[in-house]
Chain A
Amino acid sequence: MKIEIDLKDFGNFISGLKILSRHVEEINRERAERFKRYTKGNVRKNRVLLKENSPATVKIQGTRHRPLRFSGEMLDNLKCEHKKEASIVRFSNKKIRDGDITYEKLAALQESGFRIPLQGSKGNNVRKFLAAHGIYVKKSKQFLVVPPRPFFKRTIELYLAAEFDKHIIGKFWRKYVSRIK
């Protein structure tokens, strides 16, 4: 969006900003919805270049499974919350299907990566779970390692680089402020 200001029209420009400020809630709503759609699209088309699934995950989930769809379609639980002050894009606080953690926590795990021990009492439970899916891990293997898949951080970077917010604000400027000219 480009704004050319003529000193003579400066007063009109200030009035335009005041008009736009009355539509901030609407602008934020559109920005949030845009970002949500962009995030889902990026992951589904793998524009964020996530690490491929391990052979164990492929065996449990199938070859058509993609990263981040595990445990109840995490992407489908990416929601927008609209308030007067701001619109927030976040993962749901609902618990995942067949699990004890929320989608929000699951998303955080994707950003950070994690390790699950395969030794001790915790490790025995993990080994039983894997064995139930026909996966037998070497006795000497210490950890299941899930590397970070920082899809959210990457999407934010791509979104900012594409300047979508600028286009949205430009659209609202043309819709509401151009009237005063």
Chain B
Amino acid sequence: MFQELSNQVWSGTANIFDNTDFSIDGSSKKCIFSAIGQYVDITFDIITLSEYEELSLYLYTTPRLPKENLLTLSIDGNDITLEAMNKNCYFEHILVDCSSMGAVNTIRFISLVSSLTLFIDYIGVRKVSYKNLDISLLQALQDHISLDYGVETTLSSDIAAESKTIDLNSWSYVNNNTELLIDNTEIVRLINKGELSEGVASAYSSGTSVKINLPVCLEDMIDIAPDPMIGICLIDVDTDSYRTIEYSKNISKNKKHLGNAVINIFLESSSKLKLLQLAREYNNVYGSSFVFLHDGECTNMYIESVLFIDDEIGNIPRIVYTYKIQVSPITVSKRYPITDLTLNIKASEV
């Protein structure tokens, strides 16, 4: 489970800019330091770090020839030195073990060199446990997957607040259980054409835009699932496990992957034409492999198979993409660096 630090406010003696053309999650901060000791402070809603396992963030600096210490990350009285990153032309994922740190609402980056341009992105805390291993994966996919059904119409008459009756100028591609987005603000669901499951929250006038919504639903949607929809469900878990070592900046850990999850992402619509349209868009945007953010990391998904299910027995047409993915590893033990080693040597008697 990963949680970004909320309500971040950036300040300091370095120059700080918003940046959208080079980031992990759509936007990053570009910080330009022009003297040793210049700093950037990030303040956020207070968080108790010991309730999590790791602080996670992404940093990028341009490659440097000398292998030197570039900056200090200061958090809860701990100063962690970060050296030059010159591997790739992309962000480096930085982990800091925070399981023994207290409540904080500030992080400071201090430059150790006279000239430094730094990109910082996607700062948060994470903890992986048996309880949240699979659900965090499904929720991360739910946040990532998005397609456009591409159908829009307007109200043909006024709707009063709390009314359950709706009339549209066009009912093409609108099914009995379709979700509608009225005026880009309110989502409602039909139970039959013309009848809503619940009354609308606000009044709307004739001519207001109505879009067909394409929600992404997890496994527990069952009975009330809309049509069309994108569904994500876990269909299998295997028991292959193997150990790995993960390096945080202040500690390294023995971790263990606890098997793969097999996931079905399916597109469903009573209109086969629309289903095929969605499938083509899905193939283009996601296709046989894609990257998404999960537990603070860029994670790859690779397809195992695709199955198209026609409306053979009165069922809703569905196209199913099956993926297998390794879930996040759990920590088995920690490895602490030896900082002081004392050897007592006794001379033996001759």
Residues of A within 8 A of B (CB): 99-101, 105, 108-109, 111-117, 119-120, 122, 125-126, 140-143, 145, 147-148, 150, 153-154, 157
Contact B313 A112 (CB under 8 A): no
User: Knowing that A147-B233, A153-B305, A157-B236 are A-B contacts, what are 16 other residue pairs whose CB atoms are under 8 Å apart, sorted by A's residue number?
Assistant: A101-B313, A105-B310, A109-B309, A109-B315, A112-B266, A113-B264, A113-B266, A114-B315, A115-B316, A119-B191, A142-B223, A142-B224, A143-B223, A145-B222, A145-B223, A153-B322
Q: Which of A114, A119, A120, A150 contacts B309 (CB 8 A)?
A: A114
Within B211-241, the residues touching A (CB, 8 Å) are 222-225, 227, 233, 235-236, 238
Contacts of A113 in B (CB 8 A): 233, 264, 266, 318, 320
Contact A120 B318 (CB under 8 A): no
Contact B318 A112 (CB under 8 A): yes
Contact B313 A117 (CB under 8 A): no
Contact A112 B270 (CB under 8 A): no
Contact B315 A154 (CB under 8 A): no
6 A-B pairs with the lowest CB-CB distances in the bound complex, closest first: A114-B315, A112-B320, A101-B312, A119-B176, A148-B235, A112-B309
Q: Does B26 contact A (CB under 8 A)?
A: no
What is the 8 Å Cβ interface bit string for chain B, positions 301-321, against chain A (1 contact, 0 not)? 000110101101111101010
Contact B309 A99 (CB under 8 A): no
Q: Does B16 contact A (CB under 8 A)?
A: no
B259 CB, nearest partner CB in chain A, Å: 11
Q: Does B15 contact A (CB under 8 A)?
A: no
A113 to B320, CA, bound (A): 9
Contact B225 A142 (CB under 8 A): yes
A13 to B347, CA, bound (A): 62
A140 to B192, CA, bound (A): 11
Q: Which of A100, A126, A145, A150 contacts B235 (CB 8 A)?
A: A150
Residues of B within 8 A of A (CB): 176-177, 191-192, 222-225, 227, 233, 235-236, 238, 262, 264, 266, 268, 270, 304-305, 307, 309-310, 312-316, 318, 320, 322
Identity of the chain B residue whose Cβ is nearest the Cβ of A148 in the assembled complex: B235
Q: Which of B177, B307, B315, B320 contacts A142 (CB 8 A)?
A: B177
A153 to B236, CA, bound (A): 9
Q: Which of A119, A125, A148, A154 contacts B233 (CB 8 A)?
A: A148
A125 to B315, CA, bound (A): 12
Contacts of B177 in A (CB 8 A): 117, 119, 142
Contacts of A125 in B (CB 8 A): 314
Contacts of B305 in A (CB 8 A): 153
A119 to B268, CA, bound (A): 16
A119 to B316, CA, bound (A): 12
Interface centre among B192, B266, B313 (most CB of A within 10 A): B313
B327 CB, nearest partner CB in chain A, Å: 16
Contact B314 A143 (CB under 8 A): no
Contact B176 A116 (CB under 8 A): no
Interface centre among A122, A145, A148 (most CB of B within 10 A): A148
Contacts of B224 in A (CB 8 A): 142
B193 CB, nearest partner CB in chain A, Å: 9
A117 to B227, CA, bound (A): 10
Contact A120 B268 (CB under 8 A): no
A116 CB, nearest partner CB in chain B, Å: 5
B225 CB, nearest partner CB in chain A, Å: 7
A140 to B320, CA, bound (A): 27
Contact A119 B192 (CB under 8 A): yes
Contact B314 A116 (CB under 8 A): yes
Contacts of B313 in A (CB 8 A): 99-101, 109, 114, 116
B152 CB, nearest partner CB in chain A, Å: 23
A154 to B304, CA, bound (A): 13
Contact B223 A148 (CB under 8 A): no
Contacts of B225 in A (CB 8 A): 115, 142-143
12 contacts between A and B (CB under 8 A): A112-B264, A113-B264, A114-B313, A115-B316, A116-B315, A119-B177, A122-B314, A142-B191, A143-B223, A148-B233, A148-B235, A150-B262
A120 to B304, CA, bound (A): 35
Contact B315 A115 (CB under 8 A): yes
Identity of the chain A residue whose Cβ is nearest the Cβ of B316 in the assembled complex: A115
Contacts of A101 in B (CB 8 A): 312-313
A126 to B313, CA, bound (A): 10
Contact A157 B238 (CB under 8 A): yes
Contacts of A142 in B (CB 8 A): 177, 191, 223-225
Q: Which of A109, A148, A153 contacts B312 (CB 8 A)?
A: A109
Q: Which of B233, B316, B322 contacts A114 (CB 8 A)?
A: B316
Contacts of A148 in B (CB 8 A): 233, 235, 264
Contacts of A111 in B (CB 8 A): 307, 320
Interface centre among A109, A115, A125 (most CB of B within 10 A): A115
A25 CB, nearest partner CB in chain B, Å: 27
